[in-house]
Amino acid sequence: MESSSRTFLRGALILGVAAIVSKLLGSVYTVLLQNLIGDRGMGLYQMAYPIYATLLIISTAGFPVAVSKYVSEYTALGDVGTARRIYRVSLALLAVIGFICAVGLYFGAGFFARVSGDQSAVYAIQAIAPALFIVPAMSSMRGYFQGWQMMNPTAVSQVVEQLVRVATILVGAYAVVHLGFGDSSAAAAAAFGAVSGGVAGIAAMGYYFWRYRDPHHLAAVARVIPHERLGRDPLSFATILKRLLYYAIPVSLGALVIPLTSNVDALTVTNLLKHQGISQAMATSDFGLLAGRAFKLMMLPAALASSIGTALMPSVSQAHALRDARDTSARILLGLRVAVLFSLPAAAGLFILGRPIDIALFRNAAGYHSIQILGLATFFSSVQIALAASLQGLGKVYVPLRSLVIGTALKVALNFILVPRYGIDGAAVATSVSYAVAAALNWVSVAKLMRMKMTLANHLVKSALATFVMGAVTFAVYSQWQRMAFGLPSRISAASVTVLTVAVGAFVYCFMLVLVGALGEQELIVVPKVGPLLARTFRKLGLLAR
C-alpha cells in the first residue's frame, strides 16, 4: 500500500475542492433564500437545521469515522475481507438507528419548535425529518471508501447532494412564496432540500459501489495486497459491533462541535434576547442574522478543515497500525500545516472584509460585527478539527470529547454572560473562545502522545507573516476604494471591492508563502498538472519549506 503522505494531501485536495464547490453553492442559496423568505423565515429554517444536524450525528453515531478508521487499519494489513464485513455491519445498524431518529424527529417536531423559541418552526422540522433515514446510510458508504483512502466517491456524492439540495431549496421556497404562503411554509419547503439532496447523494455512492463491486478491483486501485487470514476465524458480528460502538460513540459526540454550538445559540440566544424585552419577531430576526449570515460564512473554512480531517484520520490510523511513529508524527504535522495554511488567511479575510461581504451578500451590514468575530473563530475551529482527527487516528477518541465538553460548557456560560449585554455579537465571542480552548487542549494532548517538538511553530510563524502582509495589503486596497467613492450603488460597490480585495489578497498570500518558504514539496506536488513543475522550480530557487 502506498504509505506516502502524498495520498493524504491528494485526498485532502479532492475533498477540499468538493467542499469549496458545495459551500459556494450553499452560500449562493443562503443569499438567495435570505432575500426570498427574509430574516424571520431564515430564522425558522435555522431553528430546524441545527436540530437535524445534531440528530444526524446521533443517528450515524460516529460510524462513518469508525468505519474509515478500521477499514484503513485492516487494509493496511491486507485484510480486505474484514474491512468489508465492518462496513456491512455498520450499514445495517445505521439503517435501523436512522429510521428511529427520523420518526422521532417528525412526531416530536412540536416539542423541538417550542424549545427553540418559535412554534412556527414545526413545519420546517417535520419537512427535514425523512433525511435522517437516508443520509446515515450514505455516510457509512463514504466512510468505507475513505478507509481505502479513496476520496473521489465522497467528493462526487457531496457535490451531487448539494446541487440537488440547493435546487430544491430555491425552487421550493420561490414557489411557496409566490403562491402566497407564509414564512413557516417557505422555511419548510427549504428544509425539504436535505431529503432530495440525500437521495441524490446516495444514488451517486451506489454507482461507485457498483463500479467497485469486485473487491480485488478495489484493492488494485487502492494498491492493497490482499491476503487470507489463514488459521484465524473471521470477526463475528458481535465483535465488530463492539469495536465500532467503542470507537463511534465518543467520535460522534466529538463531531457535535459545530452543530452543538449552533444548538446552544438556537436554544439560548432567542430566549435571552426576549428576556431583555425584545419582541419575538425581532429576536428571531437577530438570530437569523447570526445563524443565517455569520455562521454560514464561517462554514466554508470549516468545510475545508473538515476535508483535511477526513483525509487525515485514516492516513494517521494507517501509519499508527503499522507502528511507524516517525511517519505518524510527520502526517499529523503535515495535516496541521495544511489546516493553518488555509485557515489563517480565511480568518483575516473575514475580519477585514466583514462589512462589504455582509452588504454584498445580504443587502445591508446588520450582521457584519458577528461575521468579523466568527472570522477569528475559523482559525481555532480548523486547528481543532485537524487535531481531533489526529487523535481519532491514534485511537484516543475520548480526548477530543473531553475538549468538546469543556469548550461547550464555556460557550454556554459565556452566552448567558455576553448575549444580554452584547446581543448576537456576544454569542459570536463565546463561540470563538470555545473553539480556542478546545484547540489548545487537543494540541497539548497530541504533543504529549507523540512527544513532538514544537516544529510546527516555524511553519506557523511563516504562515502568520504571510497572512499579516496579505491583511495589510487587503486593508489598504479596501480603504482606498472607500476614499475614491465611485458613486456606485452600495451593494454593487461592496461586491466589487470584495472581489477585488480577495483576488489581490490571494495573490499576495501565495507570493508571500513562496517568499518566506512556507510551502513544502509535498504540498506542491499534489497540485494537478503544474504541481511537479512548481516543486522543481521552487526547489532550485531554495524556496521550499524544510
Please tell me whether residues 405 and 463 are part of one structural domain.
no
Q: How far apart are CA 438 and CA 383, in angstroms?
A: 9
Please tell me whether residues 418 and 474 are part of one structural domain.
no
Rounded mean pLDDT, 527-546: 63
78: pLDDT confidence band, cut at 50, 70 and 90?
Answer: confident
201: pLDDT confidence band, cut at 50, 70 and 90?
Answer: very high
Please tell me whether residues 9 and 112 are part of one structural domain.
yes
Please tell me whether residues 319 and 333 are part of one structural domain.
yes
Please tell me whether residues 411 and 535 are part of one structural domain.
no
Lowest mean pLDDT among 37-41, 238-242, 342-346, 369-373: 37-41
- Give the residue numbers spanning the domain of 368: 5-452
Q: Which pLDDT score is estimated for 238?
A: 85
Q: How far apart are CA 132 and CA 57, in angstroms?
A: 9
Please tell me whether residues 448 and 540 are part of one structural domain.
no
Q: How far apart are CA 368 and CA 12, in angstroms?
A: 31
Q: Which pLDDT score is estimated for 230?
A: 42
Please tell me whether residues 438 and 470 are part of one structural domain.
no
The residue with greater pLDDT, 268 or 152, is: 152
Rounded mean pLDDT, 142-154: 88
Q: Which pLDDT score is estimated for 467?
A: 93
Rounded mean pLDDT, 195-223: 84
Task: Return the DSSP state at 225.
Answer: -
- Given a cut of 90, whether residue 500 has pLDDT beyond it is yes
**What torsion, rounded to 10 degrees, do the Cα atoms 54, 56, 60, 62 define?**
-30
Q: What are the pLDDT digits (tens) for 211-229?
A: 888 777 677 766 666 665 5
Please tell me whether residues 216 and 145 are part of one structural domain.
yes
Rounded mean pLDDT, 32-40: 81
Rounded mean pLDDT, 352-357: 89
What are the DSSP calls for 39-98, one per residue? Answer: HHHHHHHHHHHHHHHHHHHHHHTTHHHHHHHHHHHHHHTT-HHHHHHHHHHHHHHHHHHH
- pTM, full prediction: 0.79
Please tell me whether residues 475 and 351 are part of one structural domain.
no
- 377 SS3 class: helix
Number of domains comprising the chain: 2
Please tell me whether residues 371 and 269 are part of one structural domain.
yes
528: pLDDT confidence band, cut at 50, 70 and 90?
Answer: low
What are the DSSP calls for 435-461, one per residue? Answer: HHHHHHHHHHHHHHHHT--STHHHHHH
Please tell me whether residues 418 and 510 are part of one structural domain.
no
Lowest mean pLDDT among 160-164, 250-254, 401-405, 520-524: 520-524
Residues written for the chain: 546
Please tell me whether residues 218 and 283 are part of one structural domain.
yes
Using the 3D structure, point to which of 452, 482, 503 is the last residue of a domain.
452
Residue 213, H or E segment: none
Rounded mean pLDDT, 438-458: 79
Q: Closest Cα partner for 475 from 391, 350, 317, 360?
A: 350
What are the DSSP calls for 101-118, one per residue? Answer: HHHHHHHTHHHHHHHHT-
Q: How far apart are CA 391 and CA 215, in angstroms?
A: 29
Using the 3D structure, point to which of 421, 452, 483 is the last residue of a domain.
452
Q: Which pLDDT score is estimated for 61?
A: 58
Using the 3D structure, point to which of 402, 419, 452 is the last residue of a domain.
452
74: pLDDT confidence band, cut at 50, 70 and 90?
Answer: confident
- Given a cut of 70, whether residue 523 has pLDDT beyond it is no
Q: Report whether 521 contacts 539 (CB < 8 A).
A: yes
Lowest mean pLDDT among 203-207, 231-235, 340-344: 231-235
